[in-house]
A and B are shown apart, each in its own frame.
Chain A
Amino acid sequence: MNRKKGLATISLSVALILALVGCSSGNNSGGGNQASGGKTVLEYYTWTDEEDYMKKVVDAFNAQNSDIEVHMNTISNDADEYNTKIMNNLSGGSKMDVYSINGTSSLGLYSSKGQLVELTDRIKEANLDVSAYGPSFQDITSVLTEGKYYALPYRTSQYALFYNKKLFDEAGVEYPTQMTWNEYAELAKSLTKGEGADKQWGGYYADWITAPLGALQEGTTVLDDSLDPIANWLDYLNRLYYEDGSHMSYKQMKAESIDWIKQFESGNVAMMINGEWTINMLKADIAAGKTDMEFDMAPMPLPEGMNDPITVGGVSTFIGINPQSKNADAAFQFVQFVAGEQGESIIAESSVLPAYSSDKTKESFLNATGLQGSGFFFEANTVVENQPVANIDEVNRVFNEQRDLYLFQEQDSATAIQNFIKNRQSVLNK
């Protein structure tokens, strides 16, 4: 009996010691950041896809600021690793002053859990013009964070239509311009030909684009009561994938783990609906000699009866400060630089669509892409892809579960919507 008590006491005291050590050393993560030469060192985290252009921004910032040095860390963003890593850092892992935030739902999460320094006062003091980030940032701020600023955006995401010039030339068809979704489907059908290794697809619609683009253009979101436009959109996808067979089927993309951009680069896809990041990636691959394709872009197709160009997107990537950082002032300087005109111009020079809209960033972007069509991004109206509410990721996930079953041809679109509404309820009740 005595021994048992002894054991319990030992483990309890081990736990206690650990807790005490934890308290005293928990703040270590913020300390020891004064590097040699009195420079303030900032640890900045972002994900691998951003390395290419954020490296240039960081270098430019370091060159301009003799007293601050930003050290960039990149983490793979596959399967939520980036978020896992950031969470560990925020819970006292490695020293982290500034971090990039991927998507509005992450912004909502980090701000609601108190993991971002509120920037409202600093923004006021610095006289920053937040209207340059466009209306989507205002929507997000007012709905998601109750009018308070916790981070600044530096990238905008927008969908558009990309096409392979060579395939249009070969077919003797004019390059596409603004179309309706119907016209798009017909055009894709007419450009589809061949079998096996010679197969040419009229279009490519990546399996991971889960947002119901056409329905969003019409103003319906996954949170609405009436979801008919979304059901129609699902039927439309079914037409592309299976009825017309003008797009590689959803099943085949999933089964063969098709990489969308490589499929497009392989030269047997005439048109592709995808995001603005396509430009940056295609240009990088062309420069690296991985492909010699020639591409251009056109506005995203529109639902029947709509005339003004409208696309899906909005500010999507943010940068904010860890509350545990001991260098919030220097960190804000860096944040301001990244999301300001200068940093944004550097980002734009890599053909990445900046969040900050000014003549200078616009010009940098158009020069960099060298694409006639890319002016579209600055002209079209946008509707947000993800509604700025908590749990949106979870709602999207249960939507995607039903969408999957529909596109694997296991249930009709009405059943998919019904099941989704049921599952959405239990997510929102949690």
Chain B
Amino acid sequence: MQDAIAKPKSSKLLYWLLLVVLVIFSLATLFPFLWMISASLRTDVDLFKNPMNWIPQTLYLNNYKEVWTAIPFAQYFLNTVKLSVIITVLQVVICSMSAYAFAKLKVPFKNTIFILFMTNLMMPWHSIMVPQFSVVSSLGLYNSHTGYILIQLFSGFGIFLMRQFFMSLPNELNEAARVDGYNEWKIFWKIMMPLSAASLSTLTIFTFTFMWNDYLAPLIYLNDDVLKTLQLGLKGFQTEHTMDYGLLMAGTVIATIPMVVVFLIGERFFMQSVATTGMKN
């Protein structure tokens, strides 16, 4: 995989051509975000007078100041960080545990339970939204972070993803560890989890992104201002008849930064673990 450059000239040309294509392609994928940054630096009136002037003549920074006071932005931000981190960590652990059991351990009615679990992947959330709400509120967990966290912890996708990975590991690994006197709990934490760092970081990135951007569930489950999340706050800029584009875009830009950070950190793990597993082979 590292040998693409050590090639004759025609191949080298092809390589640079590919790179150019990829860069153009990347500009296309980034475009809407660039537009958001542009819109966040302009007044709304200017935006509507000259919708196609994407480069602002004068930078209007007020949106970035105002967004912190227009809504309790800092409070929402902290709530979002708290919920996303807790849910991501717990979901990844819980899903990995059951995925490991599905892949490597004896479980009564393994296939039945697995298929049942996968129904979660196949059912759109909207269709269980109302009954799920009844269940949560009858447990007295409505309007609490606990209630919202609990409904998000199970993920059919997470189990599916991790199971696929654990299945690709040789069974001999478990057998050898058992001979060494490891119990299953220890095998899981000391051997399986470190080996699956690549899949784990993938799942972490996905879960975190999803939770950070989640909108409808927080809307339904969180009521008090002190509990609300960033996406609920951003939506406040868009009301029935009108929309505050500048503030919305400035808020979106700020709200995107943590996801970029998580992606970059997750990616580092991802690359390191690829390097180590590669060496072992």
Whether A25 contacts B138 by the Cβ 8 Å rule is yes
User: Does any Cβ of A come within 8 Å of B139's Cβ?
Assistant: yes
By beta carbon, the residue of chain A nearest B225 is: A73
> Separation in Å of the B162 CB from the closest CB of chain A?
23
Interface string of B217-240 (1 = CB under 8 A from A): 001100100000000100110111
> Separation in Å of the B46 CB from the closest CB of chain A?
8
Whether B241 contacts A281 by the Cβ 8 Å rule is yes
Whether B142 contacts A93 by the Cβ 8 Å rule is yes
Contacts of A260 in B (CB 8 A): 241-242
Of the candidates B109, B134, B242, the one whose C-beta lies within 8 Å of that of A259 is B242
Contacts of A263 in B (CB 8 A): 48
Whether A266 contacts B109 by the Cβ 8 Å rule is no
Question: In the assembly, what is the distance between CA of A3 and CA of B108, in Å?
Answer: 8
By beta carbon, the residue of chain B nearest A28 is: B140
Question: In the assembly, what is the distance between CA of A260 and CA of B242, in Å?
Answer: 8
Q: With A25-B138, A78-B239 as given contacts, are A3 and B109 in contact (CB-CB < 8 Å)?
A: yes
Of the candidates A28, A48, A261, A266, the one whose C-beta lies within 8 Å of that of B236 is A48
User: Does any Cβ of A come within 8 Å of B51's Cβ?
Assistant: yes
Whether B109 contacts A4 by the Cβ 8 Å rule is yes
User: Does any Cβ of A come within 8 Å of B102's Cβ?
Assistant: no
Question: In the assembly, what is the distance between CA of A48 and CA of B43, in Å?
Answer: 22
Whether B45 contacts A76 by the Cβ 8 Å rule is no
> Separation in Å of the A35 CB from the closest CB of chain B?
15
User: Does any Cβ of B come within 8 Å of A63's Cβ?
Assistant: no
Interface string of B118-158 (1 = CB under 8 A from A): 00000000000010011101111011000000000000000
User: Does any Cβ of A come within 8 Å of B214's Cβ?
Assistant: no
Contacts of A243 in B (CB 8 A): none
Whether B243 contacts A259 by the Cβ 8 Å rule is yes
Interface size class of A (residues with CB under 8 A): 35 or more
Whether A290 contacts B235 by the Cβ 8 Å rule is no
Whether B240 contacts A49 by the Cβ 8 Å rule is yes
Whether A22 contacts B220 by the Cβ 8 Å rule is no
Question: In the assembly, what is the distance between CA of A281 and CA of B240, in Å?
Answer: 12
Contacts of B108 in A (CB 8 A): 3
> Separation in Å of the B119 CB from the closest CB of chain A?
13
> Separation in Å of the B107 CB from the closest CB of chain A?
11
Question: In the assembly, what is the distance between CA of A28 and CA of B53, in Å?
Answer: 55
Cross-chain pair count, CB within 8 angstroms: 98
Of the candidates A4, A21, A47, A258, the one whose C-beta lies within 8 Å of that of B240 is A47
Whether A7 contacts B109 by the Cβ 8 Å rule is yes
Contacts of A265 in B (CB 8 A): 45
Interface size class of B (residues with CB under 8 A): 20 to 34
Whether B241 contacts A277 by the Cβ 8 Å rule is yes
Interface string of A276-317 (1 = CB under 8 A from B): 010001000000001100000000000000000000000000
- Which residues 1-60 in A have Cβ within 8 Å of B in the complex? 3-4, 7, 18-19, 21-22, 25-26, 28, 47-49
- Which residues 1-58 in B have Cβ within 8 Å of A in the complex? 43-45, 47-51, 53
Interface residue stretch chosen among A83-91, A217-225, A395-403, A405-413: A83-91
Question: In the assembly, what is the distance between CA of A4 and CA of B112, in Å?
Answer: 10
Whether A88 contacts B239 by the Cβ 8 Å rule is no
Contacts of A3 in B (CB 8 A): 108-109
Whether B134 contacts A22 by the Cβ 8 Å rule is yes
Q: With A93-B142, A259-B48 as given contacts, are A85 and B219 in contact (CB-CB < 8 Å)?
A: yes
Whether A290 contacts B44 by the Cβ 8 Å rule is yes
Question: In the assembly, what is the distance between CA of A85 and CA of B232, in Å?
Answer: 13
Whether B138 contacts A259 by the Cβ 8 Å rule is no
Of the candidates B44, B50, B109, B220, the one whose C-beta lies within 8 Å of that of A262 is B44
Whether B219 contacts A266 by the Cβ 8 Å rule is no
Whether A262 contacts B48 by the Cβ 8 Å rule is yes
Whether B138 contacts A266 by the Cβ 8 Å rule is no
User: Does any Cβ of A come within 8 Å of B245's Cβ?
Assistant: yes
Contacts of B238 in A (CB 8 A): 76, 78
- Which residues 232-264 in B have Cβ within 8 Å of A in the complex? 232, 235-236, 238-243, 245
Known: A47-B239, A76-B236, A259-B245. 4 other contacts (CB 8 A): A47-B240, A208-B241, A260-B241, A291-B45
Chain A residues near B (Cβ < 8 Å)? 3-4, 7, 18-19, 21-22, 25-26, 28, 47-49, 73, 76-78, 81, 84-85, 88, 91-94, 197, 208, 256, 258-263, 265-268, 277, 281, 290-291
List, sorted by A's number, 5 A–B pairs whose CB atoms are closer than 8 Å. Answer: A25-B138, A84-B219, A91-B133, A94-B223, A259-B242
